[in-house]
Chain A
Amino acid sequence: MSENREIRIEVPVLARVEGEGALELSASGGQIETLRLRIFEPPRYFEKFLEGRGHQEVLDVVARICGICPVAYQMTAVQALEQAFGVQASPWVIRMRRLMYCGEWLQSHALHIHLLALPDFLGFESGIAMAARHPEAVRRGLRLQRLGNDLIRLFGGRSVHPVGMRVGGFHRAPDPERAATLLEEMRAALPDAEDLVAFTASLDLPQDDQDFTSVSLRHESEYPLYSGRIVSDRGLDLAVEDYPKHFQESHVAHSTALYAHLDGEPYLVGPLARLNLNHDRLSPPARAALDATGLQLPSRNMFHSVIARAVEIHEVVLEAIRLLESYRPEEPAHVPVTVGAGTGFGATEAPRGLLWHRYELDAAGKVRSAQIVPPTSQNQARIEDDLKRSLEAFGLHNDDDALRLRGETVIRNYDPCISCATHFLKVRIQRR
């Protein structure tokens, strides 16, 4: 099939991603001329909604940004608010936040791998179609996802928009008997998590190495979840509050979500970036399971993201077991908070990548201004860059269905959440 033919393709909805938008691609003479990830869902204005709200309302408001990663928004906001008020959370609170965050990674990654990404690599239209042929794989995903939700529920009362967190800590400490039950369930899930690493590494993934910059948090001793400095594989090493010095958000005409660049260039956040930068911070069992796959890091192949998610599932199950084994309730489960004017910054690793918040508060603790930079916004420019390189490497001589599927697969690698960024996807390809 000639790559110079004129073809126009429209796909009304891109499946297995969250949100609404479109992919527009035009090619001439076998070269891609323009490629736009067009996001047209209306802006959601959360930053403006927060203005004038009391600090007590912030965690409930930001949780509504996303039904899958509300914990990430709450964790990042609470860091920023505590910094603004000069509050130092106790070591127990920090450990418990990390434990709760393990639950969110577990449920989000398990759902993405088993129901959204695997159909691409096993040749099915959807996770539902795949379930009939690979029921055990899907059941494993459901078991892991449920366990993650149970862990969030332990602290937050419910897994969607949890309500257990507050500035200074938690409203209450989890019940030790429920924590003990969850510990046993986590131990029972460990074989599933170990198997998943080998399973994803055995998939027939496309080989498509690209040059990109990885960005993530880096902690002095832990695999980054709740805290760390902002680093890149090009030598960047920043305190959280210095993020705006190097990262810029900007509007583009074809998207209602802001784009972010690092010193003017696209960059990657998320599981593969985290693993590239922090594989030496994995716990020994997770490191051993990763080594057994033979995966060489850092990886330049975005399709390795599915393996990175599996490695991270293994890591958070191990971490949850470690933290639950030493669990003792602490009451009160929070430190006192004195409200005052100030500015605070927060950065954590959401399942989809680095999440950064900034809040300015007045003397009464009300929000004067808020800035929230979600991972999907940060990945948008990288996704466009990846699409262009991937489709050219794949070959424009392929038929439209094959090009469309490859494009969708590339996008799904990022597990984009347009709801967070603002929302996603029709595909329109024009060739002249």
Chain B
Amino acid sequence: MNPEGRSDGWRIIGVGSPVTGDDLGWAAIAALKEAGLDHVAELLFLDRPGPALVDHLQGRDRVILIDAMQAGLVPGSVRALSHEELIVSAHPPSSHDLGLAEALALARALDCIPAHLHVIGIETGPGLDGETRSVAIRDAVQVIQAILSGNRSGFGPDDAAPRFPSQRGR
């Protein structure tokens, strides 16, 4: 616990659903577990949490979120996203459409955004074949390992776009 009473261990959350292509966050968590990172961070799968994501950010100092995204990039591209920009893009939520951006906006309004929050997006889409998917997951794992090790050379300040090992999608 830090002086503010927040847990300062890392929590890594894969957000997704069982639908192929929307499960990239889950696949990344599985790969992190396989790589043994469950010993250094808490790994969670969340199935379309909506506003319940706030509960999982509450009281945490360090959180990494991984989710599939559609940003018009090459499928398999991995990006570190600015949670501030995501929040700006949030729409007024409806009962059925309360996504990651809206949940983060709600978390900010409730003053529970972690001090160190990283959002990793993995581009999904029809061109995401098996090999591309594997490379994307590997890239995401490497980015997360770098965050955990504190090796942020090349990342710049929090939430800036990192240089990814494969440099795909650039």
Residues of A with Cβ closer than 8 Å to B? Answer: 15-18, 66-68, 108, 111-112, 115-116, 125-129, 131-132, 135, 138-139, 142, 145-146, 149, 158-160, 415, 417, 419
Give the interface segment out of B69-77, B105-113, B157-165: B105-113
Known: A127-B106, A128-B106. A146 touches B95 (CB 8 A): no
Prevailing SS type, chain B contact patch: loop
Contact of A146 among B17, B52, B90, B97 (CB under 8 A): B52
Q: Could you tell me the distance between the alpha carbons of A18 and B110 in the complex, rounded to whole angstroms?
A: 24
Known: A131-B110, A135-B110, A135-B111. A145 touches B95 (CB 8 A): no
Find out whether the CB atom of A128 lies under 8 angstroms from the CB atom of B94. Answer: no
B59: CB under 8 A from chain A?
A: no
Q: Could you tell me the distance between the alpha carbons of A146 and B51 in the complex, rounded to whole angstroms?
A: 9
Across-interface contacts of B91 in A (CB, < 8 A)? 15
Q: Could you tell me the distance between the alpha carbons of A112 and B98 in the complex, rounded to whole angstroms?
A: 12
Across-interface contacts of A419 in B (CB, < 8 A)? 96
Known: A138-B106, A160-B17. A127 touches B52 (CB 8 A): no
Find out whether the CB atom of B110 lies under 8 angstroms from the CB atom of A139. Answer: yes
Across-interface contacts of A66 in B (CB, < 8 A)? 96
B92: CB under 8 A from chain A?
A: yes
B93: CB under 8 A from chain A?
A: yes
Across-interface contacts of B55 in A (CB, < 8 A)? 142, 146
Find out whether the CB atom of A68 lies under 8 angstroms from the CB atom of B110. Answer: no
How far in angstroms is the closest Cβ of chain A from B29? 16
Find out whether the CB atom of A16 lies under 8 angstroms from the CB atom of B94. Answer: yes
B48: CB under 8 A from chain A?
A: yes
Across-interface contacts of A67 in B (CB, < 8 A)? 48, 96
Across-interface contacts of A145 in B (CB, < 8 A)? 51-52
Q: Could you tell me the distance between the alpha carbons of A127 and B92 in the complex, rounded to whole angstroms?
A: 7
Contact of B92 among A68, A126, A138 (CB under 8 A): A126
Across-interface contacts of A146 in B (CB, < 8 A)? 52, 55
B102: CB under 8 A from chain A?
A: yes
Q: Could you tell me the distance between the alpha carbons of A15 and B92 in the complex, rounded to whole angstroms?
A: 6
How far in angstroms is the closest Cβ of chain A from B84? 14
Find out whether the CB atom of A126 lies under 8 angstroms from the CB atom of B96. Answer: no
